[in-house]
Amino acid sequence: MKKIAILGSTGSIGTQTLEIVREQGDIQVVAMAAGNNIALLEKQMREFKPELVSVWDEKRAEELRIQTADLSIRVVSGMEGLLEVATYESSEILVTAIVGMLGIKPTIAAIKAGKKIALANKETLVTAGHIIMPLAKECGVPILPVDSEHSAIFQSLQGAGDNKISKILLTASGGPFRGRKKEDLLNIQVEDALKHPNWEMGRKITIDSSTLVNKGLEVMEAKWLFGVELNQIQVVVHPQSVIHSAVEYQDGAVIAQLGTPDMRLPIQYALYYPERRNLSGKRLDLFEIANLSFERPDTDTFRGLALAYEVMKRGGNVPTAFNAANERAVALFLDRKISYPMITEIIEMCMGECEYIEHPDVDEILQTEALTYELIERKVLGH
């Protein structure tokens, strides 16, 4: 019986991970953490019966303790709770599906505790890749990517041996506004941006996909995961979302991973790697698809991707400012406090005002995040 812990059990990746647990029947969830969705978390506790559960707010934790008093499950809270779930002794794999930089400290703790990492929290590598990857190597801990694109690259590298990567082809659907120009984005509403053409995802990542900021974050993550240079990562807009990404080798051969847009596949691959298990759901039918198309990304209209390449060239703590600015800007857009184009405008402003630190430690990363939030409060919201 494989034993796992999950950070972010009530989110999109977390719930799909639990679907796999339910379907396969040979995984035990021994610990889980969630945010504020206490009602769903209680249902998960009653079905999967973990030994440890964490929620962020202590008041919600106490509420949950009362509601689940009939269960023998310990409920903890805060960062201490996340760290306890991440390092829970009996777990073998930590699924990091928590959103934001909140995942950095638990991921580091889990690596030090020797846990395999099934990584769905891209912010961890975007902001702290220079810390995470050397630490994982030192501890002999594998980082197994859960993002569909990074899983596709990882799968395309299987059997590569010592053959070097010439280029990574990182595919993007283009989001719901593909083909539009800057002036077309002025009156975009929340509901418009949440209509992703192919994938079922959480609200923030769906907005990030529409601005192409998500693809920028994925470029940063790919650089750290696969040890390549920025000029070796090419973003390709592929509206059908059939080719999830590909690797070009030095001889010109391109190896790609294809499939239906189902996040359960990369999640399951990370959980059982290198084994491939049967997975329910629709199979890829090439006759049904008939045509696959590819385009260059429009970085003039969708500035998020161009800005991501810029921050990676600058390095240091600038990717943290980029990520933190995007997190706050997307939250403001979802709350209807700013317009859609202002998301990337806020990111660019925060990048420009970031006080540069060449090799930030975890505390300096988190301080940069806090200072970025303060800048937005002051200059955008006038507080």
Residue 319: CATH number of its domain: 1.10.1740.10
Using alpha carbons, list the distances in angstroms from residue 48 to 15, 30, 73, 150. Answer: 12, 8, 11, 29
Strand locations in 35-154, DSSP E?
Answer: 52-55, 74-77, 93-96, 116-119, 143-145
Query: Would you say residue 225 lies in a domain?
Result: yes
Pair 136, 158 in one domain:
no
Query: Would you say residue 255 lies in a domain?
Result: yes
Query: Would you say residue 275 lies in a domain?
Result: no
Pair 298, 347 in one domain:
no
Query: Would you say residue 274 lies in a domain?
Result: no
Do strands 74-77 and 93-96 pair parallel, antiparallel, or not at all (unpaired)? unpaired
Query: Which pLDDT score is estimated for 201?
Result: 66
* Full domain range(s) for residue 117: 2-145
Question: Letter for the amino acid at 253?
Answer: A
Per-position pLDDT tens, the chain of length 383: 999 999 999 999 999 999 999 999 999 999 999 998 999 999 999 999 999 999 999 999 999 999 999 999 999 999 999 999 999 999 999 999 998 888 999 999 999 999 999 999 888 999 999 999 999 999 999 999 999 999 999 999 998 888 989 999 999 988 888 888 888 888 888 888 887 666 666 788 888 988 999 999 999 999 999 999 999 999 999 999 999 999 999 999 999 999 998 999 999 999 999 999 999 999 999 899 889 999 999 999 999 999 999 999 999 999 999 999 999 999 999 999 999 999 999 999 999 999 999 999 999 999 999 999 999 999 988 87
Q: Taking the alpha carbons of 109, 144, 120, 356 in that order, is the dihedral positive or negative?
A: positive
Pair 206, 118 in one domain:
no
Pair 180, 82 in one domain:
no
Q: Domain end: 121, 145, 169, which one?
A: 145
Q: For the whole model, what pTM was predicted? A: 0.93
Query: Would you say residue 202 lies in a domain?
Result: yes
Pair 158, 89 in one domain:
no
Pair 31, 167 in one domain:
no
Number of domains in the chain: 3
